[in-house]
Amino acid sequence: MHYVTFGFRTLHDHAAEYYDYLALRKRFFVDTLGWSIPHDEWVEMDQYDNPKARYALVIGDEGQVLAGARALPTSARWGDFSYMLRDAQDGRIGGIPSDLLGERVLPDTMYECTRLVISPELRGMQARVACLGLICRGLVDLAMDDGATELMSLSNLWLLRALKSLGYDAELMCDPYVNCDDGHKYAVMKMSAMYVDQSMATVRRMAGTAGPSRQMQPTVLHAPAR
């Protein structure tokens, strides 16, 4: 396994992987969880897949997309939308409680991570945690390259435990709530945008590689927006 990161300017270099990531999102969030979010027969894609978005994908040894996540800086603006939690606070989108963070305004030095998903083809808890570690490494790369200092996500509580097991300083930013669509518990969580050497050594050992290459059904990791 290795990871790739890219944004709109280099999307053409990762077109096939990007499409497969959107297809993986559709199979999980729409077909498996039944979320009412924009999609067609093949892919899931929404208003936050815009030129401000960045992506971190994990690629298998045979070139298949095993996992991925999307990231948006909290300073992002595209048309009438900013980032998912802010738009939920402002009542622009449904499916997410508007009061999760109260009146809190998140700093521009934070990245919001959404649509985290791991393929069901990747089996075994060790392999899946290793895969998550590679996603995190890619997200930290993206954030640090842009001067961000923190990552946050509205995600299943499983993610908080997994991040801590990798050595990240993950913590909750709100009380958990139960999503009415799928019955899972979600909460907003954050962690520092910094590398964790010990966790990456574990990830590399589990992944069976000397280290990730920075080139450009699944576990529930992100709550819906619609």
Task: Report pLDDT digits (tens) over 39-59.
Answer: 999 999 999 999 999 999 999
Integer Cα distance of 119 and 21 in angstroms = 10
Query: Please, what is the angle between helix 125-145 and helix 157-165, to 10°?
Result: 90
22, part of any domain: yes
226, part of any domain: no
Which residues face 155 on adjacent strands? 187
| Percent of the chain with pLDDT strictly greater than 70 | 87
123: Cβ contacts below 8 Å, ≥ 6 apart? none
218, part of any domain: no
CB 77 within 8 A of CB 53: no
89, part of any domain: yes
pLDDT number for residue 207: 52
Tally the domains of the chain.
1
138, part of any domain: yes
144, part of any domain: yes
Mean local confidence (pLDDT), 67-92: 95
Is 104's pLDDT higher than 90?
no
Mean local confidence (pLDDT), 102-112: 89
Question: Whole-prediction pTM value?
Answer: 0.85
**pLDDT tens string 165-198:** 999 999 999 999 988 777 789 999 999 999 986 4
221, part of any domain: no
pLDDT number for residue 218: 45
Is 217's pLDDT higher than 70?
no
69, part of any domain: yes
Mean local confidence (pLDDT), 210-214: 41
pLDDT number for residue 212: 40
Give the helix/strand (H/E) hosting 133: helix 125-145
Largest CA distance in the chain: 46
Range of the domain at 83: 2-207
**Mode of pairing for the β-strands spanning 177-178 and 185-192:** antiparallel
Q: Tell me how many degrees the CA angle 127-129-131 measures, rounded to the nearest 5.
A: 70
- CATH code at 77? 3.40.630.30
Mean local confidence (pLDDT), 88-102: 89
**Mode of pairing for the β-strands spanning 65-73 and 54-59:** antiparallel
For 5-39, b/e burial (b = at least 16 CB within 10 A) is bbbeeeeeebeebbebbbebbbbbbbeebebebeb
